[in-house]
Chains A and B, each alone.
Chain A
């Protein structure tokens, strides 16, 4: 199953013109700074707002022109949008009773999966923020959508609760074989979730493909704050217990050594070869190192670059600071 869309929308001086593909066996992250049109794109996919022109397809089935309730796409909003006149169970049942019989999971099982089975008969008006988010997810899953769209569902969470929520999304994707498109502008969340990436800037797609490849594109790196420039690495290659798809290793978290370091505090030392050294706007040097576990970026001072004699083809060691893992 593949969700593909080609859409155009003019909104004042803002123009959304995007052609995207989201594979059915993956979590696709729709990444971009605020105002890049991510939420608008999701609304158009779901049929909640009209585009000037769109061609949206699920495999060969054309969704464009269908009203939202006939598209079979779920959408989880930033705010949970639970129905205040219904209990937790009734909110989930609202979705469940309208879902195709052969696809829908049981209400009790879904409630258990999202750890809200103790709250089933409570009114939704006095749940905590985290509970509300989980009820919204449970309700979306109970609707048995062909594709689930999530619009920054963890924007209001922070720290440990945010990581826990991302883990819930990953588990949900695996357990229910639910293809998802998740909107975020946070690079750590994107790396943790994404196997596929669509990057938007000012309404245009600037990079698209597997997360590992698309996140290396210069157009994608240009979207990031300079402090966030970095590379994605699988947690296993860095001896990390992180449960996500990839870890985002920022260039500022990587030290370079011209000789193999021995007694160092960094837990991970990767040997590699310098591919490129580029001067940044702030004068620092961005060094791209090809290691045995993939490319790594490191930001160093021009003095350090000169002292280490770093140039293309030279051998070097990258030291990834443990707090990055």
Chain B
């Protein structure tokens, strides 16, 4: 069925996409909640969050190198303080993927927060629930379908992240070589089209499964909320 190389590529992709979504979920929820409220400077923050969608992914990868590279200000700090360096590592691939999928997560979750009935927060407030309590017990559960759908979509998109990953984390088999990077590599080799096609098909199936799965889960959760 699957060759050892294919399994390695798939597991790298899974691991990178999973950790990218898992680690960016809490800040994405916080950012989405913030952006669903009204405050001055909201437009600027919204723009900043969505920057990776607008910028060429290669440029995002390049900016990450400038900041987190061996001579970048954050990179130097991480190396001195924790002995960690991110450029050209699995962790770097996760960071690049997280930065690219962050806007997708924030957008989906923010829509979910905005759709939640604000009148319910007032009802909770007069039942002695503090703002943090209201966030955890009302806002978060009501936004759960949106959060889940956003996470699955971001996961599927993260599996296919290319430009930022290859620029910041390079294309190292077994470490940073995800599905699209592997497709790119085999296409460089003469006669690699058949292998590229197999990988492309796997990529397609995974993406579709992710999207359909997200849709089904969301429908189920919404049915429970709306009765």
Q: A residues within 8 Å of B by Cβ?
A: 46-48, 67-75, 77, 79, 81, 83-85, 94-95, 98-99, 123-126, 139-140, 143, 145
Residue pair A99, B124 in contact (C-beta under 8 Å): no
Residue pair B119, A81 in contact (C-beta under 8 Å): yes
| Given pairs A67-B125, A73-B126, A74-B126, 19 additional interface contacts (CB within 8 A) | A46-B126, A68-B122, A68-B126, A69-B127, A69-B131, A72-B128, A77-B122, A77-B123, A81-B119, A83-B124, A84-B226, A85-B141, A85-B142, A85-B144, A85-B225, A94-B137, A95-B127, A126-B227, A140-B127
Contact partners of A140 in chain B: CB under 8 A:
127
Instruction: Give the complex CA separation of A79 and B122 in angstroms.
Output: 12
Contact partners of A98 in chain B: CB under 8 A:
127-129, 133
Residue B130 CB within 8 A of the other chain: yes
Contact partners of B141 in chain A: CB under 8 A:
85
Residue pair A139, B127 in contact (C-beta under 8 Å): yes
Residue B51 CB within 8 A of the other chain: no
Q: List the B residue with the shortest CB-CB distance to A49.
A: B122
Residue pair B127, A94 in contact (C-beta under 8 Å): yes
Instruction: Give the complex CA separation of A234 and B222 in angstroms.
Output: 51
Residue B45 CB within 8 A of the other chain: no
Instruction: Give the complex CA separation of A85 and B124 in angstroms.
Output: 13
Residue pair A143, B125 in contact (C-beta under 8 Å): no
The smallest beta-carbon distance between A127 and chain B, in angstroms, is 9
Residue pair B227, A84 in contact (C-beta under 8 Å): yes
Residue B30 CB within 8 A of the other chain: no
The smallest beta-carbon distance between B209 and chain A, in angstroms, is 27
The smallest beta-carbon distance between A102 and chain B, in angstroms, is 15
Residue pair B125, A48 in contact (C-beta under 8 Å): yes
- Counting residue pairs across A and B whose Cβ atoms lie within 8 Å, the total is 74
The smallest beta-carbon distance between A115 and chain B, in angstroms, is 21
Instruction: Give the complex CA separation of A123 and B226 in angstroms.
Output: 10
Write the B104-130 contact mask toward A (1 if CB under 8 angstroms, else 0).
000000000000000110111111111
Q: List the B residue with the shortest CB-CB distance to A85.
A: B141
Residue B37 CB within 8 A of the other chain: no
Contact partners of B123 in chain A: CB under 8 A:
75, 77, 81, 83
| B224 CB contact (under 8 Å) in A69, A72, A74, A85 | A85
Contact partners of B227 in chain A: CB under 8 A:
84, 123-126
Residue B74 CB within 8 A of the other chain: no
Contact partners of B125 in chain A: CB under 8 A:
47-48, 67-69
Residues A94 and B124 in contact in the complex (CB < 8 Å), given A77-B119, A84-B227: yes
Instruction: Give the complex CA separation of A120 and B123 in angstroms.
Output: 20
Residue pair A69, B225 in contact (C-beta under 8 Å): no
Contact partners of A72 in chain B: CB under 8 A:
128
Residue B53 CB within 8 A of the other chain: no
The smallest beta-carbon distance between B68 and chain A, in angstroms, is 40
Residue B187 CB within 8 A of the other chain: no
Instruction: Give the complex CA separation of A99 and B126 in angstroms.
Output: 11
Instruction: Give the complex CA separation of A127 and B125 in angstroms.
Output: 23
Q: Nearest 10 CB-CB pairs, A to B?
A: A125-B227, A81-B123, A68-B125, A98-B128, A75-B126, A95-B127, A85-B141, A126-B227, A69-B128, A143-B127
Contact partners of B226 in chain A: CB under 8 A:
84, 125
Residue pair B130, A69 in contact (C-beta under 8 Å): yes
Residue pair A83, B138 in contact (C-beta under 8 Å): yes
